Structure 1
Amino acid sequence: MLLNHLNFTIDFLSKLNVHLCLLSGDPSRTRMIAEKYLRKSELVCDNRGLLCYIGETSLGMPIIAATSGMGAPSTSIVVNELAQAGIEVIIRVGTTGSIQKYIAPGSLIVNYASLCKQGAAKDIAPNEYPSVASPLLSTDLYHTAKGIHPSVYFGINASVDTFYEGQERYGNANPHLLRKQQGLIQEYQHLNILNFEMETGTLFKMASVYKFHATSICGVVAARYSGNEESEKIMHNIVDDVTDKTILSALKTLENIQSGKLILNN
């Protein structure tokens, strides 16, 4: 049977013994992972911008680098089809905006849970169903990242549906945010929420319901706490370096699974 959007058969990955996935929102990041970090990489899907490559890590482990697209609806489609195809571990590798003032652009954030404000997740589980990562996978990823990068944080994100209103952005096409979105960043600071992003909350709920392992690591490319959109221009200077470190951390965690250093209980 051919998967509806990823355009490979449901048994294709299992025949190649591929059960681990690096998931990125941006197709260019997926391509970069394949070209820079995987050996013998092969493009197996290019449908609707949902690039997927199969390749090997430095230890010879086969994995898939896949594109989720932007936001929860697209993520829910891709993750569902990856789960149908037998994927057992997904690590989201993304970018994010920091909410807490002590987290500067250029840092890494490993999220072990989400404040999930995403419509797609409501079709997966009730609102009150926890949006949490796999604890052993997340802890290993955090410690692995700390061995690669000097500034790594571990905590909860706000996973939202919109880039502008849902992240309290001003100075765009909508100058009149709803009252519930005004002061949102300060409210989340008091709740000890570390960062904004747009996919993880739904991914975590899907992992728990579908019974696979998932976590997320993101490079901080914007200081959302500053209230000054000009500060986000810093992302152009640090995005390449921080992306490299997120990918290296995720790959090493997958290799820890292969080598037996990390045992995940089903």
Structure 2
Amino acid sequence: MATPHNSAEKGDIAKTVLMPGDPLRAKFIAETFLTDVKCFNEVRGMLGFTGKYEGKEVSVMGHGMGIPSIGIYSYELFNFYDVDNIIRVGSAGGLQDDVNVMDIVFAMGAHTDSNYGFQFGLPGTFAPTASFNILEKAVALAKEKGVKYHVGDVLSSDAFYKKCNESELYRNVGALAVEMETPALYMNAAEAHKNALTILTISDHLFKSGELSAEERQTSFTDMMEIALKTAIQL
């Protein structure tokens, strides 16, 4: 059943989907790592592909920028296409001194200034967290691979250009990095009783020098991509 944002039919999308923000990064992952690849979506340029990784079916699809965008795409995957697991593979800005460009961050939880959680009508504050079964597998693979990684909370902001920047305040309470999508993904997964994890590669740092180009962000995050794919085939 196609949606206004996805032309796929049921059965076109695997049970586990990797989701980068950039649809060109989705294309890169599909062409670089998957075999028997088929494109299932081109609506609005948000490319989606299904193929096989080490013989197991995996899909990859862009989710765009920001909480509203990933909120739409992840909701449809969980609720209309019977997807069980989504692994976001994205970029983030480092906040802590020991977090460096090209380090990997596993988002255990996500602080946010977004009002996305208001729709659920919950009293108090919705504290979205990763699914431990995916997190545990991914961290074990990172250890095995020998890459530098961090596990903890991230800050997810609704605005890229901000008049009032709260990054230093969240840095002071231990947030590892800042990005723009994780709470919607984790909230949608919780409501649908599905699984989600965000894996991030640090592309720049808010408190020290160093950053990657747009092209490097598309193609150089191979450690993160391989960890996500190897996690996906264990689910």
Asked if these proteins are the same fold (TM beyond 0.5), I'd say yes
> What is the Cα deviation at residue 3 of structure 1?
1.8
1:48 aligns with 2:26: no
2:212 to 231, 235, 248: 235
Greater per-residue helix proportion: 1
* 1:183-223 CA distance string (max 9 Å, x none): x2321122111010111111011111111100011110101
Cα gap change, 1:224 to 1:31, in 2 (>3 Å): same
1:73 to 68, 72, 95: 68
Count of matched residue positions in the alignment of Structure 1 and Structure 2: 232
| 8 Å contact from structure 1 (residues 111, 215) kept in 2 | yes
Matches within 5 A, 1:38-117: 38-58=34-54, 60-83=55-78, 84-117=80-113
- RMSD over aligned Cα atoms: 1.9
> What is the Cα deviation at residue 135 of structure 1?
1.0
> What is the Cα deviation at residue 13 of structure 1?
3.4
Who is 1:131 aligned against? 128
| 8 Å contact from structure 1 (residues 155, 194) kept in 2 | yes
> What is the Cα deviation at residue 148 of structure 1?
2.1
Who is 1:5 aligned against? 5
Identical aligned residues as a percent: 24
Cα gap change, 1:124 to 1:68, in 2 (>3 Å): farther
Who is 1:260 aligned against? none
Who is 2:169 aligned against? 187
* 1:44-102 CA distance string (max 9 Å, x none): 111102110010011x1111101111111111111111111100000000111111011
CA distance in 2: counterparts of 1:49 and 1:224, whole angstroms: 30
Structure 2: tracts of 5 or more residues without a match: none
Who is 1:168 aligned against? none
Matches within 5 A, 1:30-41: 30-41=26-37
> What is the Cα deviation at residue 255 of structure 1?
1.9
| 8 Å contact from structure 1 (residues 100, 194) kept in 2 | yes
The AA in structure 2 aligned to 1:192 is G
| 8 Å contact from structure 2 (residues 25, 219) kept in 1 | no
Q: Secondary structure at the match of 1:29?
A: helix
> What is the Cα deviation at residue 149 of structure 1?
4.1
1:246 to 214, 217, 224: 224
Who is 2:186 aligned against? 204
Who is 2:199 aligned against? 217
Q: Secondary structure at the match of 2:167?
A: helix
CA distance in 1: counterparts of 2:5 and 2:168, whole angstroms: 39
| 8 Å contact from structure 2 (residues 58, 233) kept in 1 | no
Cα gap change, 1:256 to 1:12, in 2 (>3 Å): closer
The AA in structure 2 aligned to 1:12 is G
Greater Rg, structure 1 or structure 2?
1
Q: Relative to structure 2, which stretch is displaced further, 65-74 or 146-155?
A: 146-155
| 8 Å contact from structure 1 (residues 116, 131) kept in 2 | no
| 8 Å contact from structure 2 (residues 47, 62) kept in 1 | yes
Structure 1: tracts of 5 or more residues without a match: 166-176, 258-266
CA distance in 2: counterparts of 1:96 and 1:125, whole angstroms: 29
| 8 Å contact from structure 1 (residues 98, 223) kept in 2 | yes
TM-score (norm: length of structure 1): 0.82
> What is the Cα deviation at residue 162 of structure 1?
1.1
TM-score (norm: length of structure 2): 0.92
CA distance in 1: counterparts of 2:41 and 2:175, whole angstroms: 35
The AA in structure 1 aligned to 2:128 is S
Who is 1:255 aligned against? 233
Q: Secondary structure at the match of 1:123?
A: helix
The AA in structure 2 aligned to 1:87 is V
Q: Relative to structure 2, which stretch is displaced further, 124-133 or 30-39?
A: 124-133
